[in-house]
Amino acid sequence: MDNVVLHVADVHKSFAGLHALSDIDLSVREGETHAIIGPNGAGKSTLLNVCIGRLKPDSGHVVFDGENLTGKQPHQINQLGVVRVFQTPEIFPELSILENVMVPILAKRDGSFKLNWFKRFSGEAEVRDKASSILSDLGLGSMLQHDASSLSRGDKRRLELAMGLSQDPRLLLLDEPTAGMARHDTNATIELLKDIKATGMTKVIIEHDMHVVFSLADRISVLAGGRIICQGTPEEVKADPRVKEAYLGEEQV
């Protein structure tokens, strides 16, 4: 398939005999937003963990831009440009919002998160400027010196998105980017992700909120019981009776 940047091929993963993923085959095309949906326990987060090297598949492989990721460590995959934003914000609560975004910029540049805060943060004007610009784009520009621990849940999610974008991802993996948000925060996040989409960045999104999915996705893969039961455009997925039965429900499509 032309312009495929991520290819998951025949991936299987089990835990103590439980098949979390079986026969997973999917392709993500350059520049698209590809949503992965399914009920709780379908295997969505397990699939992302396989893609970023946190889990090794029992069989099969993951290829990014022609390079086999299977067996590589998470930091090696990150250096190739695959960046994941987690469902639970993984921020540094003791640091300012600005410093939180500076950390991954420095780590990406130097290849390590083992930073000497005072040494690295002093005299890093270029890094500060980049972090400030990203935060401003995401609506946090007036809060640069606030402690990250003081943020609302929605703003913490926005901060972690900024931390992900600061690493200049070629592929951005978003795990429940609107989880726990009020509707106005969800709508604001949709608009932010539309702006990111307009840049041509390739994204994979796990999301339960169908309003978010159908607002953003170019294509959708539906997981149920660790297997992909349907793949296609939003219109094709909405119309598929297997999806209605397994996940969406008649009232949601």
User: Hey, is 232 helix, strand or coil?
Assistant: strand
Q: How close are the terminal C-alpha atoms of the chain, in Å?
A: 29
Q: Are 79 and 65 in contact (CB under 8 A)?
A: no
Q: What is the DSSP track for 121-172?
A: HTT-HHHHHHHHHHHHHTT-GGGTTSBGGGS-HHHHHHHHHHHHHTT--SEE
Which pLDDT value is given to residue 120?
55
Distance separating alpha carbons of residues 135 and 141, to the nearest angstrom? 5
pTM of the model: 0.88
The DSSP element (H or E) to which 190 belongs, if any, is helix 183-198
The tens digit of pLDDT for each residue in 193-224 reads 999 989 999 999 999 899 999 999 999 999 99
pLDDT in tens, 54-104: 999 999 999 999 999 999 999 899 989 999 998 777 889 999 999 999 988
Tally Cβ neighbours within 10 Å of residue 177: 27
* Nearest C-alpha neighbor of 43 from the set 177, 171, 164, 175: 175
pLDDT of res. 251? 41
Please choose, from the candidates 164, 139, 159, the residue with its C-alpha nearest in 3D space to the C-alpha of residue 149: 159
